[in-house]
Amino acid sequence: MQNFENFLVKNLPVSKSIHPVYEKALHQMLLAGGKRFRPALLLGVVNAYNPLLQSGAMHAALAIEMLHTYSLIHDDLPAMDNSPLRRGNPTLHVAFDEATAILVGDALNTYSFEILSNAPFSDYTRVALIRELAHNGGLNGMVLGQAIDCYFENKPLQVEDIKFLHTNKTAKLIAASLKMGAIILNKEALGAMLYNFGIKLGLLFQIQDDILDVTQSSQEAGKLTNNDEAKNSFVTILGLDEAMSQANTLAHELSKELSSFDENLKHELSALLTHYINRHI
């Protein structure tokens, strides 16, 4: 992912303004690292079939990372999770102030679509990418999941409702990352298959996060842990043992599906996915 890191640094948002810390705040969470999981999924799909499109695909990968980073900044706000730590650094409302954190999140959200609008693809492909990211990251995707998560704090949900919550909050953006790779390749059937795979992968990712929240220290996780007692996490509702069992079941299903991918796709995604599929163990 070094090429992606270099591309990110070269394309950091720039603001010509009199604000003393706005640009620094815009860059802080982007430069703090992170898994870069969603960009890696998109770039892996593209590289499996047409490596010559990697340069253009970087724009879509960066747009996903910008939108994901905005969601983390807002998720950490006092009105939501009130977390002081993210990616091993103070969260923006702690390092600067709450208004700055809100506005930086807003800026990264909208900038992600500006990046996509300038990507070196046909108008048709650009619009399809923008639609996919907006649909899965917006009112019927990640934002919906976050709204449900916040509203039902201290109000336990049924397991199927928790799955609906986290399908929207977490899984849809992961699924969109895979599908956007297929959109760049103009492979519609591949996109549908990868989207369904990505929903399962995103649910596993969330169950794993819930497990790690109670089994890792804040220093190990790079963010505040043991902070989900009021939330509808898989661990708080099911207990650690049952959450582990569900994670193991999903991990087995995903490993089996991954092994059925064609050789090019399996080669590109196996190292990344094998690590993440088994990270709760």
pLDDT per residue as tens digits for the range 171-190: 999 999 999 999 999 999 99
Task: Look at the block and give the residue holding tokens 């996509």.
Answer: 116
Residues in Cβ contact with 262 at an 8 Å cutoff, skipping those fewer than 6 apart? none
Question: What pLDDT does 142 receive?
Answer: 98
Mean pLDDT of the chain: 95
CA 55 – CA 51 distance, rounded (Å): 8
Question: What pLDDT does 144 receive?
Answer: 98
Tell me the three state secondary structure of residue 253. helix
125 pLDDT band, cuts 50/70/90, is very high
Alpha helix stretches (DSSP H) within the chain:
2-10, 22-31, 37-49, 54-75, 92-95, 98-117, 123-137, 142-151, 159-166, 172-185, 188-215, 218-221, 234-238, 240-260, 263-277
CA 131 – CA 246 distance, rounded (Å): 32
| Mean pLDDT on 201-206 | 97
* CATH number of the domain to which 220 belongs: 1.10.600.10
- pLDDT tens-digit series, residues 129-153: 999 999 999 999 999 999 999 999 9
Inform me whether the pLDDT recorded for 231 exceeds 80. Answer: yes
The answer to whether 96 touches 73, Cβ cutoff 8 Å, is: no
Range of the domain at 135: 2-277
Question: What pLDDT does 89 receive?
Answer: 92
- pLDDT tens-digit series, residues 71-123: 999 999 999 999 999 988 999 999 999 999 999 999 999 999 999 999 999 99
| Mean pLDDT on 165-174 | 98
Inform me whether the pLDDT recorded for 220 exceeds 70. Answer: no
The count of domains in the chain is 1
Residues in Cβ contact with 203 at an 8 Å cutoff, skipping those fewer than 6 apart? 163, 166, 167, 170, 171, 250
